[in-house]
Amino acid sequence: MWDRSLVRAVFTTVSVIVLVAGLVVFVSSRDGARVADVPGSALAQTKTPEQLYGPEIAMPKSALRIAQKFIQTAVLRNDVGAAWALVTPHVRGGLTRAQWNTGDIPVVPYPREKFAGAKFKIDRHRQRDILLECS
């Protein structure tokens, strides 16, 4: 069947049409200006940090204390029960308080004997969000 020139010509033509259609779809989906106007689009224009997190605020001293307490209680597993009050339901990962208190929590542990302290770098301090990097 492949030795017939008509079959090869039809197959080649269909292949070229599919290739061109695929390229057109790919290129048009990469056009952020047009796609960004579509509500709910994954390529919708990104909001500014102020729209997402609110205006900048003075860094609350309590934020650093809470971060330190989180490391002591949850990360080092010194008192996971006390860590429950420090985290959001999202961080709890759907666990009940009883499940959380078992110590099998969705927080990456760190060995106590290797912990020599933590330094914090403030990445962002806004009204609805504070981001600290720990090293």
Tens digits of pLDDT across the chain (135 residues): 667 788 888 888 989 899 888 887 777 776 554 545 555 555 556 788 888 889 999 999 899 999 999 999 999 999 999 999 999 999 999 999 999 999 999 999 999 999 998 888 999 899 988 999 988
Q: How far apart are CA 59 and CA 124, in angstroms?
A: 9
- Tell me the HSE value of 33 on the side-chain side, using a 13 A CA sphere: 0
pTM of the model: 0.61
Q: How far apart are CA 68 and CA 54, in angstroms?
A: 24
Q: How many residues does the chain have?
A: 135
